[in-house]
């Protein structure tokens, strides 16, 4: 035992090359702890078998020796990686960073913060830690998207102007606008998807706009200021490409970006009627310039089609026969990464294919948010229909991206029978959701939150996000756009006046 006389603190040390019991940290408070009679590798396996990170942290508080071993020693890196892998808590990890490459101490801090967010989120009314007004601009916001927990992309448009701005909302002394892009007319921007590039120094934005003759699909590279007081000039935004498609050739309607790949849906119409056989998804590699249109080969009576793009997979979702949800997972076309590969016009055979046994009462559903990490599953949320009152239940679905993964799960929950979800944000892991609820009988608006488990071990929790009479600088009925980052508990909202507010929980 060594004594630090300057702080009056007992310190413990561990020889990483020695796995005998004598190599454990020893202090006056843990000399009799039976765990220290075990070999190190056996103790590590015992710690890994704990129920979760909260149990591990509680154990670390039982004596100084365990605290040193679990929280301060590099030997426990293995434990933290295994605990993080087993936990279903959303982790605040930078875009495209593999958590297996993170140091144990870094991962420990991330997991500990995830527990803090989880405990706050589980409260009947979550504690609002901070409310920040981001942007005083009076131009209407039509869409917002978080990229990780630190970056927010905002699309504004009015009758005469349109712009995209990138905000850094965390990891700095105060939030600031890191980049902006004026969108040239006369096309009107409709929706976008964005992701980080070059170690969070550049944002790739794919944008769909409408014109008098059809739709326009464009991509931009936007460099961002890494610090609020950065005095170095950053390169101007540059257009990577622009594609025009007249009405007769189909319309660009949905877009997603992941890494260097962009995917955009292109439905076609014959005499104003949508044709499944003419539906295509266009993949574009922004580095090589390769374009690959593919036929998803959709089944008949397939409607409400949406898709998600992941680092290695494409997920298709839709409703068959107006009642059954269908989810299919495909590998991305090889041609997108290998110029020598054949440019096939069909997707590979589905590696996972699901149909819900639960009949969905409405046609509307929302998929989990775009992700910059490889996930094991995709989630989907659906709310009851005010028109079809046969079933007033709401559902959360979790579908594995591979059949070899854990089985799919359906969770049932309830919201008010007269309420509709006006704007819905489902987190990228499907663990949490936020939505703006409107009760039509009283015309009352409420920001709602929900917490879901992936295996049904815990009940679904649905509560108001804010206290009923919380003093806010805006009316909930004026909210026109929402963005939600579940790992950090940040919610960004825009009101009809164009003001942006960020809520941190």
pLDDT at position 31 over 70: no
- On the 0-12 / 13-18 / 19+ scale of CB atoms within 10 A, 407 is exposed
Within a domain: residue 495?
no
Within a domain: residue 77?
yes
Q: What average pLDDT does range 35-53 have in this prediction?
A: 88
- Which tokens is 237 given? 């935004």
Q: How would residue 144 be classed by pLDDT, with cut points 50, 70 and 90?
A: very high
What gap in Å lies between CA 329 and CA 402, rounded to an integer? 8
Q: How would residue 151 be classed by pLDDT, with cut points 50, 70 and 90?
A: very high
Which ranges in 293-357 belong to alpha helices (H)?
Answer: none
Within a domain: residue 473?
no
Q: Which residues are CB-contacts of 404 (< 8 A; sequence separation ≥ 6)?
A: none
Lowest mean pLDDT among 20-34, 161-175, 483-497: 20-34
Cα 223 to its chain centre, rounded Å, is 22
Q: What average pLDDT does range 286-302 have in this prediction?
A: 86
Residue pLDDT, tens place only, 236-255: 899 999 999 988 888 898 99
DSSP code of 76?
G
Q: Which residues are CB-contacts of 98 (< 8 A; sequence separation ≥ 6)?
A: none
- On the 0-12 / 13-18 / 19+ scale of CB atoms within 10 A, 30 is buried
71 closest CA partner among 3, 2, 14, 5: 14
pLDDT at position 272 over 60: no
Q: Could you tell me the CA-to-CA distances from 80 to 32, 44, 67, 76, 322 in Å, in that order?
A: 25, 10, 13, 7, 45
- On the 0-12 / 13-18 / 19+ scale of CB atoms within 10 A, 287 is exposed
Which ranges in 49-173 belong to alpha helices (H)?
Answer: 53-60, 64-67, 77-86, 104-121
Within a domain: residue 287?
no
Task: State the chain's mean pLDDT as an integer.
Answer: 85
Q: How would residue 275 be classed by pLDDT, with cut points 50, 70 and 90?
A: low
Q: Which pTM was predicted?
A: 0.88
Q: What pLDDT shows up at residue 450?
A: 96
Within a domain: residue 83?
yes
What gap in Å lies between CA 53 and CA 115, rounded to an integer? 8
pLDDT at position 19 over 50: no
56 closest CA partner among 86, 95, 23, 83: 83
What gap in Å lies between CA 353 and CA 303, rounded to an integer? 17
8 A C-beta contact, residue 139 and residue 158: yes
Q: What pLDDT shows up at residue 242?
A: 94
Lowest mean pLDDT among 238-247, 298-307, 462-471: 298-307
Lowest mean pLDDT among 10-14, 96-100, 123-127, 474-478: 10-14
8 A C-beta contact, residue 386 and residue 355: no
Q: Which residues are CB-contacts of 104 (< 8 A; sequence separation ≥ 6)?
A: 74, 76, 77, 78, 79, 80, 81
Beta bridge partners of 293: 282
Within a domain: residue 290?
no
Q: Which residues are CB-contacts of 314 (< 8 A; sequence separation ≥ 6)?
A: 263, 281, 307, 308, 329, 330, 331, 332, 347
What gap in Å lies between CA 13 and CA 358, rounded to an integer? 56
Q: What pLDDT shows up at residue 325?
A: 87
Q: What average pLDDT does range 103-125 have in this prediction?
A: 93
What gap in Å lies between CA 38 and CA 34, rounded to an integer? 8
Helix, strand, coil % over all residues of the chain, rounded to 5: 15, 40, 45
Residue pLDDT, tens place only, 57-102: 999 888 888 888 888 888 888 999 999 988 889 999 999 999 989 9
Within a domain: residue 252?
no
State which residues form the domain around 102: 2-121
What gap in Å lies between CA 303 and CA 318, rounded to an integer? 6
Name the more confident of 96 and 16.
Answer: 96
Q: Could you tell me the CA-to-CA distances from 417 to 138, 394, 439 in Å, in that order?
A: 35, 10, 8
Residue pLDDT, tens place only, 391-423: 678 999 999 988 765 678 888 899 998 999 999
283 closest CA partner among 272, 275, 292: 292
The percent of residues in the chain predicted with pLDDT above 70, rounded, is 87
pLDDT at position 331 over 80: yes
Q: What pLDDT shows up at residue 56?
A: 92
What gap in Å lies between CA 274 and CA 297, rounded to an integer? 14
Q: What pLDDT shows up at residue 4?
A: 36
Q: Which residues are CB-contacts of 480 (< 8 A; sequence separation ≥ 6)?
A: 140, 141, 142, 494, 495, 496
Name the more confident of 359 and 243.
Answer: 243
Q: What average pLDDT does range 162-189 have in this prediction?
A: 91
Within a domain: residue 111?
yes
What gap in Å lies between CA 352 and CA 400, rounded to an integer? 8
Domain count within the chain: 1
Lowest mean pLDDT among 40-49, 74-83, 356-365: 356-365
Cα 404 to its chain centre, rounded Å, is 23
Q: What pLDDT shows up at residue 340?
A: 65
> Which secondary-structure segment (H or E) carries 43?
helix 40-48
- On the 0-12 / 13-18 / 19+ scale of CB atoms within 10 A, 503 is buried
């Amino acid at each position: 035992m060594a004594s630090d006389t300057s702080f009056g603190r007992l310190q413990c040390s561990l020889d990483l090359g020695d796995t005998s019991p004598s190599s454990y940290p020893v202090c006056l408070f843990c000399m009799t702890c039976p765990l220290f009679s075990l070999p190190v590798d056996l103790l590590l396996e015992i710690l890994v078998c704990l129920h979760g990170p909260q149990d591990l942290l509680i154990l670390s508080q039982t004596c100084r020796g365990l605290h040193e071993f679990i929280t301060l020693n590099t030997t426990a890196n293995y434990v933290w990686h295994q605990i993080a892998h087993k936990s279903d808590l959303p982790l605040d990890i930078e875009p495209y960073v593999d958590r297996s490459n993170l140091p144990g101490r870094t991962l420990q801090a991330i997991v500990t913060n995830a527990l803090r967010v989880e405990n706050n989120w589980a409260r009947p009314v979550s504690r609002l830690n901070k409310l920040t007004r981001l942007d005083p601009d009076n131009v209407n916001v039509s869409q917002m998207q978080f990229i990780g927990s630190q970056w927010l992309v905002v699309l504004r448009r009015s009758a005469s102007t349109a712009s995209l701005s990138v905000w850094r909302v965390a990891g700095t002394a105060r939030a600031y606008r890191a980049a902006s892009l004026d969108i040239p007319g006369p096309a009107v921007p409709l929706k976008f998807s964005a992701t980080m590039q070059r170690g969070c120094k550049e944002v790739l934005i794919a944008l769909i706009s409408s014109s008098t003759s059809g739709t326009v699909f464009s991509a931009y590279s936007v460099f961002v200021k890494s610090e609020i007081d950065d005095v170095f000039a950053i390169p101007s935004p540059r257009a990577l490409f622009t594609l025009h498609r007249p009405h007769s050739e189909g319309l660009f309607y949905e877009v997603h970006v992941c890494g260097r790949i962009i995917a955009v849906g292109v439905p076609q119409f014959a005499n104003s009627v949508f044709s499944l056989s003419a539906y295509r998804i266009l993949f574009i590699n922004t580095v090589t310039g390769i374009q690959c249109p593919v036929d998803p080969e959709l089944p008949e009576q397939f409607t409400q089609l949406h898709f998600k793009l992941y680092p290695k997979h494409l997920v298709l979702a839709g409703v068959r026969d107006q009642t059954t949800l269908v989810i299919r997972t495909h590998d991305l076309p090889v041609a997108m990464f290998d110029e020598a590969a054949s440019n096939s016009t069909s997707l590979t055979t589905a590696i996972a294919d699901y149909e819900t046994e639960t009949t969905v009462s409405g046609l509307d559903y929302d998929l989990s948010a775009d992700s910059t990490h490889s996930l094991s599953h995709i989630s989907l949320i659906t709310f009851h229909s005010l028109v079809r009152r046969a079933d007033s239940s709401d559902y959360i679905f979790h579908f594995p991206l591979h059949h070899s993964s854990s089985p799919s799960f359906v969770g049932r929950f309830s919201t008010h029978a007269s309420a509709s979800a006006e704007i819905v944000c489902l987190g990228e892991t499907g663990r949490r959701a936020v939505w703006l609820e409107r009760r039509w009988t009283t015309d009352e608006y409420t920001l709602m939150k929900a917490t879901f488990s992936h295996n049904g071990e815990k009940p679904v929790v649905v509560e108001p996000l804010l206290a009923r009479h919380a003093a806010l600088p805006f009316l909930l009925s004026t909210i026109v756009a929402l963005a939600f980052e579940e790992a950090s508990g940040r919610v960004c909202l825009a009101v009809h006046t164009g003001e942006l507010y960020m809520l941190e929980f």
